Amino acid sequence: MEINAQYIAEFLDGEIVGDPQVKVKAVARIESAKPGTIAFLGNMKYESYLYSTKASIVIVNRSFTPASEVGGTLVKVDDAYQAIASVLDLFASMKSSVRKGRSLFSHISWRSKVGKGCYIGKGVVVEKGAKIGNKCQVYPQVFIGEDVEIGENTIIYPGVRIYNSCKIGSNCIIHSNAVIGADGFGFAPMPDGTYKKIAQTGNVVIEDNCEIGANTAIDRASIGSTIIRKGVKLDNLIQVAHNCEIGENTVIAAQTGVSGSVKIGSNCMFGGQVGIAGHISIAPKTSIGAQAGIISSIKEEGKSLLGSPAIDAKDYLKAYSIFRKLHKR
């Protein structure tokens, strides 16, 4: 399906510089775009590509003025980054088709409840007592355990495992091979040097509008719930241990490990491979750089941290500027 610049400008509340009737059918990177695609310029270090790109439409910030002639049509908006995210959603919605129906090769307990308009793929297992809300998409080879509750319009991709008694909200996306509700890592040391497993009797609660990346594991609580608050976005290959709580609208990048009983505030941003020690709390709006190690609680809201053990980002950069020159002394 093709859409023209006029439609995109109206959709984004932007203004057109060029041909309003030029059409596009896909989104592309500005440096490799072809005719019939739309790209964006949000970072000025890529400005040089604007003058050579083959993209038919380029989204730019409203305040931007080209230094020379541009071949394609410009759509000027308040924030190019936010605009391209909206355009990607637009194209995705045009391509996606909502599936319905239950595969004959699925196993759904007669003591479970599946809402209206759902899709249940091949090899899906839904155990007794489970409840799946209306218009959910459950792709092949998903396991949904006893007494699991899933809200409306949630998408669960192939190979996801949701253990007994866990709760998933509405409008969530859980990507392939995520494991929700496996036992927390709890073992009591014994006098003879062995370890006795501590029963993990709680569950996992994922609230509305969350996205869980592929191969991410969220462990059930030993007592109570491991809680992922609404709007949280977890990347691929993340470990969230038992009894953690992650605050609203927090985003965490791949390969981060969160130890047990950690409480993370709302609107935090963690880079990749961050390690967080157990039984600490992190204040809202904290930003943590990639590969940082957090070993104690962060009490001040809005701090930026780097390093392992992590310190204030400005202090880290000052210290690093000295460290990198030590071999020359």
Q: Point out the residues that are catalytic.
A: 242
Q: Which residues pair with 161 in a beta bridge?
A: 143, 179
DSSP letters of 91-137?
A: HHHHH-----EE-TT-EE-TTSEE-TT-EE-TT-EE-TT-EE-TT-E
Please confirm whether the linkage preceding 189 is cis (ω < 30° from 0): no
Query: Residues 252, 236: contact at Cβ < 8 Å?
Result: no
Query: Residues 161, 214: contact at Cβ < 8 Å?
Result: no
Q: Which residue has the tokens 């006029």?
A: 6
Local structure of residue 45 (DSSP, 8 states): G
Instruction: Write down the H helix ranges in the chain.
Output: 5-12, 47-50, 80-95, 313-323
Local structure of residue 268 (DSSP, 8 states): -
Sign of CA dihedral 186, 190, 195, 201: negative
Give the whole-angstrom CA distance, residue 150 versus residue 138: 11
Which residue spans within 207-271 are E strands per DSSP?
211-212, 217-219, 225-228, 233-234, 239-240, 245-246, 251-252, 257-258, 263-264, 269-270
HEC string of 298-322?
ECCCCCEEECCCCEEHHHHHHHHHH
Neighbours of 254 (CB within 10 A): 17
